[in-house]
């Protein structure tokens, strides 16, 4: 029970990686707020059925009012905010195309959700963490930044921006005893990846072959890293990006 008494907000927690983070942090005693544009009540119910406490809150991370009201509800219901996992993002539905074919509106949409969303959520929780004298912000970036994967210039740029934002925020809130770190997953077989024609079995096999551990990455490969960064075990670690991809890339 490494997170007993803590309150964690998981954006994008209705499914996929965010859901796995919500369930794992709840197992460690955290009260969980799942913030998503999708209905997250099934995740909330699963946590409650196992004896935990959870809220499912409709939130669009790219809208300042929506984010502000979500954080206010969490504070009113749970009395504090200790951990923010910025997981919400879009990627598997983005078609693969070179940068010179990406429409400017699509570029804006990806940056607005993937990068501005993390900025807005971090900004909204900051006053609570500052007041409490401690906080943990964990931003989900991507191994695609390290590889410069072609076909996703907007997505890869948003994920690079997240690493930059993580470093700046870490320096700005160190005096408030708030840790800001990033986790970079490799290609992981979440529902959206398994259901996407962009990731057929051959593509997953090619990704696996590049790893030191030659198998598919699954959500549970990432939950330990997020738990570590959410817990007191990482209190002297900030501004870092932990690449969790089975050893495909090094940095
Ligand atoms: P996913 O699509 O299953 O999960 C993303 C979640 O974010 C969904 O529940 C979705 O509803 C939510 N979301 C989207 N837009 C939102 C918005 N405006 N406001 C609030 N919620 C919103 O995908 P996933 O595979 O679980 O990926 C989760 C995160 O991990 C993403 O940030 C993704 O970029 C990152 N990532 C995934 C992989 C992978 O291979 N699965 C690899 C590297 C990084």
pLDDT exceeds 90 at position 195: no
Secondary structure of residue 126 in the 3-state scheme: helix
Question: pLDDT of 175-193, one tens digit each?
Answer: 999 999 999 999 999 999 9
What is the extent of the structural domain holding 13? 7-186+219-241
Nearest CA to ligand 1 atom 44: 142
Please report whether residue 196 resides in a domain.
Answer: no
Q: Evaluate whether residue 211 is within a structural domain.
A: no
Q: Identify the residue whose C-alpha is closest to ligand 1 atom 27.
A: 17
pLDDT at position 18 is 98
Catalytic residues: 155
Per-residue pLDDT reduced to its tens digit, 132-152: 999 999 999 999 999 999 999
Strand order in 7-11's β-sheet? Answer: 54-58, 31-36, 7-11, 83-86, 135-140, 178-185, 241-244
- Asked if residues 106 and 161 have their Cβ atoms less than 8 Å apart, the reply is no
Mean pLDDT of the chain: 97
Domain count of the fold of the chain: 1
Q: Which atom of ligand 1 is nearest to the CA of 93?
A: 2
Span 41-49, average pLDDT: 98
Tens-place pLDDT, residues 216-246: 999 999 999 999 999 999 999 999 999 999 9
Determine, yes or no, domain membership for 204: no
CATH number (domain holding residue 45): 3.40.50.720
For residues 212-236, b (16+ Cβ closer than 10 Å) or e, as one string? eeeebbebebbbebbbbbbbeebee
Q: Which atom of ligand 1 is nearest to the CA of 185?
A: 43
Establish if 203 belongs to a structural domain. Answer: no
Band of the pLDDT at 74, cuts 50, 70, 90?
very high
Q: Does some domain include residue 223?
A: yes
In a domain, residue 195? The reply is no
DSSP 172-185: HHGGGTEEEEEEEE
């Amino acid at each position: 029970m490494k997170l007993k008494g803590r309150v964690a907000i998981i954006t994008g927690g209705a499914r996929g990686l965010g859901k796995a983070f919500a369930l794992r942090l709840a197992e460690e005693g955290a009260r969980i707020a799942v913030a998503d544009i999708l209905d997250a009540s099934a995740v909330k119910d699963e946590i409650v059925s196992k004896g935990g406490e959870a809220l499912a809150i409709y939130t669009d991370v790219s809208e300042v009012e929506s984010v502000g009201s979500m954080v206010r509800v969490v504070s009113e219901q749970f009395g504090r905010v200790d951990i923010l996992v910025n997981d919400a993002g879009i990627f598997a539905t983005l078609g693969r195309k070179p940068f010179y074919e990406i429409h400017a509106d699509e570029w804006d949409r990806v940056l607005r959700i993937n990068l501005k969303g993390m900025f807005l959520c971090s900004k909204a929780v900051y006053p609570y963490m500052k007041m409490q004298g401690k906080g943990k912000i964990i931003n989900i970036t991507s191994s695609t930044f390290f590889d410069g994967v072609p076909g996703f210039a907007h997505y890869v740029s948003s994920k690079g921006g997240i690493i930059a934002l993580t470093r700046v925020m870490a320096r700005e809130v160190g005096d408030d005893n708030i840790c800001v770190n990033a986790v970079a997953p490799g290609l992981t077989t979440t529902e959206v990846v398994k259901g996407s024609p962009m990731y057929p079995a051959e593509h997953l096999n090619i990704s696996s072959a590049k790893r030191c551990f030659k198998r598919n990455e699954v959500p549970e490969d990432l939950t330990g890293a997020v738990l570590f960064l959410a817990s007191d075990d990482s209190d002297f670690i900030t501004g870092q990006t932990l690449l969790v991809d089975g050893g495909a890339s090094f940095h």
